[in-house]
Structure 1
Amino acid sequence: MSVTLLRPATKLTHRGALLLVAAAEEAARAMGVPQCIAVVDEGCNLVAFLRMDGARVLSIESATRKAMTAAATGKPTGGIAPDKALLLAEATSGRMTNLLGGVPLIADGQVVGGIGVGSGTGEQDLEVAQAAVAAFMRAQAP
């Protein structure tokens, strides 16, 4: 009986991260809401970031944490039960968040990263993140 010691992995490239940032920026401009946009890989490492002119400085951190949370959980942020969200924040020293605006990036059935958007309302942040993920998915289609 052979034991598999390695598993194949699909990885997000810097070009993919930049496509996400550009698509999110376009959606934010169309909305008229300057945003902070963070893209992380599957290990929650920052790959690309943009703070649009006029976006809130403190949203740099929240956008990054939204991206990390989406990548780590494989689920959009904002839907975790309040009691579990508090535990999640406590267990990660506040590095993970339940604020709307984080969406995982999934390719070939694998989580390859996450995008986090912050500086608008939670609903605006989520809309911009979803627009970027939709552009990412279209770009992957054969």
Structure 2
Amino acid sequence: MQMKPALGIAEANRILDAARDEAQRNGWAVAIAVVDDGGHPIALARLDGTAPVSAYMAQEKARTAALGRRESKLYEDMINGGRTAFLSAPLTATLEGGVPVIVDGQVAGAVGVSGVKSDQDAQIAKAGVRSIAA
């Protein structure tokens, strides 16, 4: 039987706290989602002033990163690079801002952020990931 790391609520809360700190330090209103390795929600925070659609987008970015086992930015780059057939993939948020949580070489889940520029979303997500993957 194979064993792999899994995110629990304690890790999800630590990720949310670190990501929230990064967003607030920069004055960014965002939604932050943490999902398990199957893309299922564990935790969600929508900071004051964040557009409602950002909560949906954050979850989908996280789901894309978890299921794809890579940052969602790679899909955005692939499509922008001309591989438009990838638009038919069963992922709904192929935009930067979804980052997998990798522990001991295994994807344990992912973080998705939405609400500001995509590279800023990714910056916040990576701050969350660093809180447990360091």
Taking structure 1 as the reference length, the TM-score comes to: 0.85
- RMSD over aligned Cα atoms: 1.4
Moved more, 70-79 or 43-52: 70-79
Aligned to 1:3: none
Q: Which residue of 2 aligns with 1:38?
A: 33
Specify the code of the residue in structure 2 equivalent to 1:131.
Answer: A
Q: Which deviates more, 95-104 or 35-44? A: 95-104
- For residue 123 of structure 1, report the CA deviation from its aligned partner: 1.2
- Equivalent of residue 91 in structure 1, options 77, 89, 92: 89
One-letter amino acid of the counterpart of residue 64, structure 2? T
Distance 1:114 1:89, change over 3 A: farther
Q: How does 1:1-142 map to 2 (within 5 A)?
A: 6-80=1-75, 81-82=78-79, 83-84=82-83, 86-92=84-90, 95-138=91-134
Q: Which has the higher helix share?
A: 2
Measure the CA separation in 2 of the matches of 1:88 and 1:18.
Answer: 33
Give the SS at the match of 2:72.
coil
**What are structure 2's unaligned runs of at least 5 residues?**
none
* Cα distance change on mapping 1:14 and 1:129 into 2, 3 Å: same
Greater gyration radius: 1
Q: Write out the 4+ residue segments of structure 1 that deviate beyond 2 Å after TM superposition.
A: 86-91
Q: Distance in 1 between matches of 2:33 and 2:42?
A: 8
TM-score (norm 2): 0.90
Q: Any idea what the Cα deviations from partners look like across 1:29-51, whole Å, max 9, x if unmatched? A: 00100110000001111000000
> Contact (CA 8 Å) 1:36, 1:52: kept in 2 or not?
yes
Q: Is the 8 A contact 1:89 1:97 kept in 2?
A: no
Structure 1 unaligned spans of 5+: 1-5
Q: Across the two proteins, how many residue pairs are aligned to each other? A: 130
